[in-house]
């Protein structure tokens, strides 16, 4: 139904793309928005006094408003543009950790993507902080009892994936926030929403989050775009991450002062056309309606889960939430890399490896897995073709022929 | 279809000839390709003349990597150990007898690289 909105499938009509959790394909409206912006309105932002620069600045700032509305954020001034979700998390890890005391604690979970693990891990080393990890239950959910046990007065940051990019399980954010409140914790609540924002409505106020991060390329927007949302007083208190042009207010040879948030976090010329494209991607999703997007994802994921149940060689890594659009699995007798290759020969694209979550795989006792992930362009026919290709691959590895 | 997975590769993957451990070995090394999840462990025993008298791999890897390890063990067992550092990437590709993309080349070369490392570290 939505597939025809994406030119890649006109170029490759045979393509069954089931790797949207790694990066999503781009709709025509995004491609056209970037193209049109270059052709009609491009100039640097926040600088020129000529009409083209004013037009460029207006278009860029309009996306800030769109993102704020998309996340139900109270103000566009709470939206910081970054080059990726990873950069947003690095900004937070460095900015928040430098003011902590030695032996203060950062609480993560055992399923974090490397982007929400390594920046905290490195900041913890640098500032002598302690990292702790919330355990998972056997079905891949966060162990809420363990979460509650780990909270103490020294817990200063809690950073959690909203939707796991491997397990497809969804963290109950308001519930986690409630536990924090009940324990009287003043820990800052950071959400990695890279995998949730593309699939279902995310309301930053309802989530109880203090900061939330997502990446543009997983949201059908251009790569090189990311978003950091933070509560206004917290952004105001957060130190600048990179310095240089545009983020400064006054500069002398030996001193400089910063602009207010969000501008103090946007040093240098940003990915202007990328942000314009991100705005078009958000418009595209809003026109469909995030509720409908979520139903689409859930219906295809449910269909895939049902069909996986009929393949005895399959072992699922978790019981994913249907609206996550993610199913990770292994196939008995076939290494994940081989399966991805066999499927690729049948025009089916899925991920193989540890999906940037090596510690979780180590804990599951496997070195790698396969992952199928759904996008708005996927159809029931895609899921059917995936299972035909999967069964053919299993048959081939068993018998040496198809 | 599935040209990469010739009978030889599949056979060696499913029933490798040289998988296992050696009771007393003189050299060992672990290698991993973190992107795709290939893991290999080599155990080697050399005699005083520098000949390979025992060679076993313990792989948790894809078919290409496992077959490469197993075919290399065929090549090096009961041969002078100098043969190992002298073996090139091209020789491995030839041994496997299949065209390899840059990603799959990494799978194919992991066993040889790890084996070379085992000898260097001794």
Who among A336, A341, A353 is closest to B4 (CB)?
A341
Whether A49 has a pLDDT exceeding 90, the answer reads: no
Report the percent of chain B where pLDDT is more than 90.
Answer: 80
CA-nearest residue to A336 within chain B is: B62
Q: How many residues does chain B have?
A: 122
pLDDT for the residue B103: 86
| pLDDT per position as a tens digit, B50-89 | 999 999 999 999 999 999 999 999 999 999 999 999 999 9
Q: Does B4 touch chain A (CB under 8 A)?
A: yes
Q: Model ipTM?
A: 0.89
Within an 8 Å CB–CB cutoff, is residue A338 touching chain B?
yes
Where does the pLDDT of residue A363 fall: very low under 50, low under 70, confident under 90, or very high at 90 and above?
confident
Where in the sequence numbering do the catalytic residues of A fall?
356
Model confidence pLDDT, tens digit, residues A9-36? 999 999 999 999 999 999 999 999 999 9
* Element (DSSP H or E) covering residue B60: strand B52-60
Nearest residue in chain A measured CA to CA from B14: A333
pLDDT digits (tens, 9 = 90+) for A220-255: 999 999 999 999 999 999 999 999 999 999 999 999
- Does B37 contact A354 at a Cβ distance shorter than 8 Å? yes
Residue of B nearest to A370 (CA): B36
Start-to-end Cα distance in chain B: 43
A290 pLDDT more than 60: yes
Mean pLDDT calculated for residue range B108-118: 96
Residue of chain A with shortest Cα separation from B2: A342
Q: Which of A352, A366, A396 sits opposite B36 (nearest CB)?
A: A352
The A residues from 351 to 370 touching B (CB cutoff 8 Å) are 352-354, 358, 361, 366-369
Q: Which residues of A touch B66 (CB under 8 A)?
A: 335
**Does residue B35 register a pLDDT over 80?**
no
Chain B interface includes A308 (CB < 8 A): no
Proportion of chain A above pLDDT 90, given as a percent: 93
Query: Is the pLDDT score of B1 beyond 80?
Result: no
**What pLDDT shows up at residue B19?**
96
Mean pLDDT in residue range A326-354: 95
- pLDDT tens-digit profile of A62-78? 999 999 999 999 999 99
Tell me if chain B has a CB within 8 Å of the CB of A396: yes
CA distance A162 to A324: 10
B39 in contact with A at a CB cutoff of 8 Å? yes
> How close B7 comes to chain A (CA, Å)?
7
pLDDT at B122: 57
What is the token pair recorded at B103? Answer: 């990603």
B-chain CB neighbours of A353 within 8 Å are: 35-37
Mean pLDDT of all residues belonging to chain A: 96
> Residue A216's pLDDT band (boundaries 50, 70, 90)?
very high
Interval A157-192: pLDDT, tens: 999 999 999 999 999 999 999 999 999 999 999 999
What's the pLDDT at B3? 79
φ/ψ of residue B73, rounded to 5? -60, -40
Mean pLDDT of A83-104: 98
Residue B2 sits at the chain A interface (C-beta within 8 Å): yes
Q: State the SS3 of chain A.
A: CCHHHCCHHHHCCCCEECECCCCCCCCHHHHHHHHHHHHHCCCCCCCCCCHHHHHHHHHHHHHHHHHHHHHCCCCHHHEEEECCHHHHHHHHHHHHHCCCCCCCEEEEECCCCHHHCHHHHHHHHHHCCEEEEECECCCCCECHHHHHHHCCCCEEEEEEECECCCCCCECCHHHHHHHHHHCCCCCEEEEECCCCCCCCCCCHHHHCCCEEEEECHHHCCCCCCEEEEECHHHHHHCCCCCCCCCCEEEECCCCEEECCCCHHHCCCCCCHHHHHHHHHHHHHHHHHCHHHHHHHHHHHHHHHHHHHCCCCCEEECCCCCHHHCEEEEEECCECHHHHHHHHHCCCEECEEECCCCHHHHHHHCCCCEEEEECCCCCCHHHHHHHHHHHHHHHHHHHHCCC
Q: Looking at the predicted structure, is the pLDDT value of residue A48 above 90?
A: no
Q: Which tens digit of pLDDT belongs to each residue from A111-132? A: 999 999 999 999 999 999 999 9
Q: Of A352, A367, A402, which has the smallest distance from its Cβ to B1's Cβ?
A: A402
Whether A397 has its CB under 8 Å from any CB of chain B: the answer is yes
pLDDT band at A342 (very low <50, low <70, confident <90, very high): very high
Torsion, Cα of A220, A224, A229, A234 (10° steps): 170
pLDDT of A47 above 90: no
Extract the tokens encoding B32.
């991993």
Mean pLDDT of B6-16: 92
For residue B63, what pLDDT is reported? 94
The band of A354, judged by pLDDT with boundaries at 50, 70 and 90, is confident
């Amino acid at each position: 139904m939505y597939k025809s909105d994406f030119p890649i499938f006109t170029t490759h009509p045979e393509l069954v793309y089931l790797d949207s959790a790694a990066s999503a394909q781009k709709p025509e409206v995004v491609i056209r928005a970037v193209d049109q912006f270059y052709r009609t309105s491009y100039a640097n932002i926040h600088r020129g006094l000529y009409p083209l620069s004013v037009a460029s600045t207006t278009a860029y700032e309009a996306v800030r408003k769109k993102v704020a509305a998309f996340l139900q954020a109270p103000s566009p001034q709470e939206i910081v543009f970054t080059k990726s979700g990873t950069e947003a998390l690095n900004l937070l890890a460095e900015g928040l950790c430098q003011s902590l005391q030695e032996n203060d604690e950062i609480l993560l979970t055992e399923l974090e993507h490397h982007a929400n693990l390594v920046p905290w891990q490195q900041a913890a080393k640098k500032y002598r902080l302690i990292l702790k990890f919330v355990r998972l239950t056997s079905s891949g959910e966060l162990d809420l009892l363990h979460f509650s046990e780990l909270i103490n007065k020294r817990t200063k940051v809690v950073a959690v994936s909203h939707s796991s990019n491997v397990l497809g399980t969804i963290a109950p954010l308001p519930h986690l926030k409630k536990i924090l409140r009940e324990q009287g914790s003043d820990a800052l609540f950071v959400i990695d929403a890279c995998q949730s924002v593309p699939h279902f409505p995310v309301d930053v106020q309802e989530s109880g989050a203090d900061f939330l991060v997502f990446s543009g390329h997983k949201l059908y927007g251009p790569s090189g775009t990311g978003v950091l949302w933070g509560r206004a007083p917290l952004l105001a208190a957060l130190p600048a991450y990179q310095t240089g042009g545009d983020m400064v207010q006054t500069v002398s040879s030996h001193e400089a002062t910063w602009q207010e948030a969000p501008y103090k976090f946007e040093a240098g010329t940003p990915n202007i056309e990328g942000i314009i494209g991100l705005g078009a991607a958000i418009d595209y999703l809003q026109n469909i309606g995030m509720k409908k997007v979520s139903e689409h994802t859930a219906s295809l994921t449910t269909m895939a889960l049902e069909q996986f149940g009929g393949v005895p060689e399959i072992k699922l890594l978790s019981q994913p939430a249907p609206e996550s659009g993610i199913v990770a699995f292994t196939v008995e007798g076939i290494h994940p890399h081989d399966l991805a290759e066999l499927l690729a020969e049948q025009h089916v694209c899925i991920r193989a490896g540890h999906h940037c979550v090596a510690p979780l795989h180590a804990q599951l006792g496997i070195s790698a897995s396969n992952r199928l992930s759904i996008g708005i362009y996927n159809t029931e026919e895609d899921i059917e073709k995936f299972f035909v290709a999967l069964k053919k691959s299993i048959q081939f590895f068993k018998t040496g022929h198809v | 279809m599935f040209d990469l997975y010739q009978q030889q590769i599949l056979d060696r993957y499913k029933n490798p000839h040289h998988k296992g451990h050696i009771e007393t070995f003189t050299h060992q090394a672990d290698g991993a390709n973190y992107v795709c999840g290939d893991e290999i462990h080599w155990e080697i025993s050399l005699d005083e003349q520098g000949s390979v008298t025992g060679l076993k791999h313990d792989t948790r890897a894809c078919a290409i990597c496992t077959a490469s390890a197993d075919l290399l063990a065929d090549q090096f067992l009961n041969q002078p150990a100098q043969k190992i550092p002298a073996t090139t990437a091209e020789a491995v590709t030839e041994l496997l007898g299949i065209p390899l993309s840059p990603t799959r080349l990494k799978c194919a070369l992991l066993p040889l690289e790890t084996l070379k490392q085992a000898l260097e570290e001794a």
